[in-house]
Amino acid sequence: MKNNILSIFDIIDEKYIEEAAKVKNRQRKNIISVCSAVAACAVLAIGVGAYLRTPPPIEFPLSEFSQNVKISIYEDEVPRYSSFSDTEYLSPEQIFSRTESAFKATVLEIQNIKMDFDGMILLRAVATVRVDESYLGTAKKGDIVKLLLPCPIIDGYWIEDTEVLSQTKVGNIGIFLLKDYGKDDYYRTNGCELLLSDVADYGFYDGHRFAFLESENGLIFDSVHEKIKNAQTIDDAEEYVIKMLR
């Protein structure tokens, strides 16, 4: 039988063997080309997917009065700086004497922002709130206004001098003691200047003494307000705020 098989191969014309080899080589090249194309498509799909997952930052529109500043909305970035904090000692009376506007409000939205002062980066947040009760200033019940928080809002991060406001969450009810942002209120650094009213309607002198927040864990406020050290609810804080403003 072995000799018969060898005899059969002996009578096959060599040109047919060569043609068969060429066909096999072409098939191998086609398979390699197809695999290369599939791999290229996969790389392209991964690249497109990565781009879709990391869209370009949304720029904050600024007026002509802000110079050399770029502000964009970001998510989940680790903070590198603290706040616009004023860490000097202030008594409760001094805190309320500095307050230009005061109201109780519900937090509707929070956006973390990155402020780029020609390479110097500050991370903050803008809270959109609905005014529920107004105690001082021009804000009226039902107004929707923006507050510039002196820190970004990121779960798990604690930033010095922002112990109260860093715990702000959407849905919180808070009482806020604020500075009004007008045409003369600028933040200047690194040869740049930002008109603060381009970003928000109001701001804070620091992130812990000028707010009272109602949270799942009770009322959050700074210990400097020791007259209400046992306060449990936002109503307790409201009574205190009204008395102090008077």
- Identify which has the larger pLDDT, 199 or 4: 199
The reported pTM is 0.74
pLDDT in tens, 150-203: 999 987 776 778 999 999 999 999 999 999 999 999 999 999 999 999 999 999
Which tens digits make up the pLDDT trace of 88-147?
889 999 999 999 999 999 999 999 999 999 999 988 999 999 999 999 999 999 999 999
The pLDDT tens digits for 35-70 are 455 454 544 444 444 444 545 557 778 999 999 999
Distances (CA, A) of 127 to 78, 233, 245: 19, 22, 24
How many CA atoms are closer than 13 Å to the CA of 242, on its beta-carbon side? 10
Q: Which token pair is 151?
A: 């820190």
Q: Is 232 exposed, middle or buried (0-12, 13-18, 19+ CB in 10 A)?
A: exposed
Give domain limits for the chain. Answer: 2-51, 69-245
